[in-house]
Amino acid sequence: MINLGDSLPDVTLYEYNDGEGGCSIGPRAFSLRARCVGKKVVIFGLPGAFTPTCSERHVPGYLAAAQDLFDAGVDEILCVAVNDAFVMHAWGKTFAAEGEVGMISDGNCALTDALGLAQDASARGMGRRSQRYALLADDGVVRRIVVDAPGKLEVSDAQSMLAFLRG
């Protein structure tokens, strides 16, 4: 698993781009490492879009705390799941997350594998997924990483991240 003081992995992730004037452009690839240069970024990973705990508590908690996180010095909040960019975009629209939480696709499990946080959810028909976690990267360097026990949301929630930032 990635450790405190490590640099974020140089992986390609995807986010859906609506384009201008309602013209759909589709998924846009970006380098996570490049996106985090010179920024303080909260990244929280979860098992999947539209799943119960993720939809009912994890994402809503970050949306409710977004302004407080920005006020505490966070430049960007990214929600990452092993889903494609179309699914992440549709899920984000259900929350009106645009401008507050970036809904990011790790569809190839590149980040999840590089962090050492993959889990096998095949027994539930979900294939490879991410464990539930939250990390804080400052200029691309991991300053905090916490991972919840399976089925739990106790340490990767927005209020725990906010408490850490307010330290």
Phi, psi dihedral angles at 90 (to 5 degrees): -60, -40
pTM across the whole model: 0.94
Report pLDDT for 67: 98
| pLDDT band at 144; cut points 50, 70, 90 | very high
Domain ranges for the chain, please list them: 12-166
Active-site positions read 54
DSSP alpha helix (H) spans, the chain: 32-36, 52-53, 59-71, 85-95, 110-115, 158-166
Question: What secondary structure does DSSP assign to 67-100, as a single string?
Answer: HHHHHTT--EEEEEESS-HHHHHHHHHHHT-TTT
Q: Angle at which helices 158-166 and 59-71 pack, to 10 degrees? A: 20
3.20.20.10, 3.30.420.40, 3.40.30.10, 3.40.50.300: CATH of 12-166: 3.40.30.10
pLDDT exceeds 90 at position 18: no
pLDDT exceeds 60 at position 121: yes
CA 71 – CA 65 distance, rounded (Å): 10
CA angle 60, 65, 66 (to 5 degrees): 95
CA 93 – CA 109 distance, rounded (Å): 22
| pLDDT band at 24; cut points 50, 70, 90 | low
Calculate what percentage of the chain has a pLDDT beyond 90: 89
